[in-house]
């Protein structure tokens, strides 16, 4: 779930251009293959998306606290009570790499201040937390040349280079977190085969080995379109050294092409952990070991002693 590091707040007084800044950021991000969510803080007490007399309105009036409307081109959820920002974030964040928020200036986080006058900036700075990071100042106060402070300025319709770099960084971090959330691998166990013989693993050993494998897979697949539901690593070991050409990694049944230094890094970490396990001397005495590690829905923990390799 994206944490506050993946959220940017666009804050300012009423009618200063916050939505325009939001549109500019969205226009920049829309072709970057990130999943973007937006949240808007609406202060009008009478605001409602639903309309009296509509079927969805009748559902709510009859007692539904959540109404879902599934249409051809969109799906709408109507929650019939006020939710605090933390709850909204909890609902939205599993499905987004970056969240852009219009309003909620009282919530701590990264902020872009949108203002018409220098006095607007002073007012907003007095309302936000002292340790909030100000990413940029935008709005008429910048477009009209009134602002000359130290913060990065964001002119109308433009995203400054420093903000572009941050958005890309946050997007990639968000994709990695989201893929980990959407990774069924995390709910499976891990199996270890050596020379075609399954090695029963105690649950904590299986979990540790699984986490090592997932930690190596996740950075390589942050832009994967589908959830990770299958992982497989195989290699040969000769005299405690992994044969680089034998190393194979599969994710979702597809092989990954890895650079040599990546193979060396991953295999050394995995082999280092396997070498700490209390495997029978039969394994260690063999000249060549074929190692296979799998994580998928068919894998099960096996709480028992190491199986004989004879």
168 versus 301: which is more confidently predicted?
A: 168
Q: Which residues pair with 254 in a beta bridge?
A: 251
Where does 4-180 sit in CATH, by number? 3.40.50.300
Q: Which pLDDT value is given to residue 301?
A: 42
226-249: pLDDT as tens digits: 667 788 899 888 877 888 888 998
pLDDT at 120 over 80: yes
Mean of pLDDT values over 87-99: 88
Parse the chain into domains and list their residue ranges: 4-180, 184-295
Which comes out higher in pLDDT, residue 303 or 53? 53
User: Mean pLDDT over residues 155-164, rounded?
Assistant: 94
Q: For residue 185, what pLDDT band results from cuts at 50, 70 and 90?
A: low
Mean pLDDT of the chain: 82
Question: What percentage of the chain carries pLDDT values higher than 70?
Answer: 85
Asked whether residue 203 carries a pLDDT value surpassing 60, the answer given is yes
Give the whole-angstrom CA distance, residue 112 versus residue 137. 6
pLDDT at 167: 93
- Return d(Cα 87, Cα 4) in angstroms, integer: 13
Q: Classify residue 13 as left (phi > 0), alpha (psi -120 to 50) or beta.
A: beta
Quickly count: other Cβ atoms within 10 Å of residue 201's Cβ.
Answer: 23
Q: In the predicted model, what is the mean pLDDT of residues 96-122?
A: 93
Q: Please, which residues bridge with residue 12 across strands?
A: 114
> Model confidence over 123-141: pLDDT tens digits?
998 888 888 889 999 999 9
At 304 the pLDDT is 37
- Which pLDDT belongs to residue 264? 87
């Amino acid at each position: 779930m994206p944490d506050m590091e993946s959220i940017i707040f666009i804050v300012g007084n009423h009618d200063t251009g916050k939505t325009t800044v939001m549109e500019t950021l969205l226009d920049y991000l829309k072709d970057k293959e990130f999943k973007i969510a937006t949240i808007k803080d609406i202060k009008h007490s009478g605001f409602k998306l639903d309309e009296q007399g509509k079927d969805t309105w009748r559902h709510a009036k009859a007692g539904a606290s959540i109404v879902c409307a599934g249409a051809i081109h969109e799906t709408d959820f109507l929650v019939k009570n006020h939710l605090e920002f933390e709850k909204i974030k909890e609902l939205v964040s599993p499905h987004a790499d970056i969240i852009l928020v219009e309003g909620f200036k009282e919530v701590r986080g990264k902020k872009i201040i949108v203002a018409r006058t220098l006095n607007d900036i002073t007012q907003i700075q007095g309302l936000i937390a002292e340790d909030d990071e100000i990413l940029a100042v935008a709005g008429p106060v910048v477009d009209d040349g009134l602002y000359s402070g130290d913060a990065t300025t964001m002119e109308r319709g433009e995203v400054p280079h420093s903000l572009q770099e941050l958005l890309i960084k946050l997007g990639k971090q968000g994709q990695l977190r989201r893929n980990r959330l959407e990774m069924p691998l995390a709910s499976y166990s891990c199996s270890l085969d050596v020379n075609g013989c399954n090695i029963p693993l105690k649950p904590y050993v299986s979990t540790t080995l699984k986490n090592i494998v997932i930690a190596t897979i996740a950075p390589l697949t942050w832009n994967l379109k589908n959830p990770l539901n299958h992982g497989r690593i195989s290699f040969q070991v000769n005299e405690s050294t992994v044969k680089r050409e034998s190393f194979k990694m599969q994710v979702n049944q597809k092989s990954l092409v890895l650079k040599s230094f990546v193979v060396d890094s991953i295999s050394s970490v995995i082999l280092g952990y396997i070498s700490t396990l209390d495997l029978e001397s039969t394994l260690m005495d063999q000249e060549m070991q074929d190692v296979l590690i799998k994580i998928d829905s068919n894998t099960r923990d096996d709480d028992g002693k190491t199986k004989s390799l004879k």
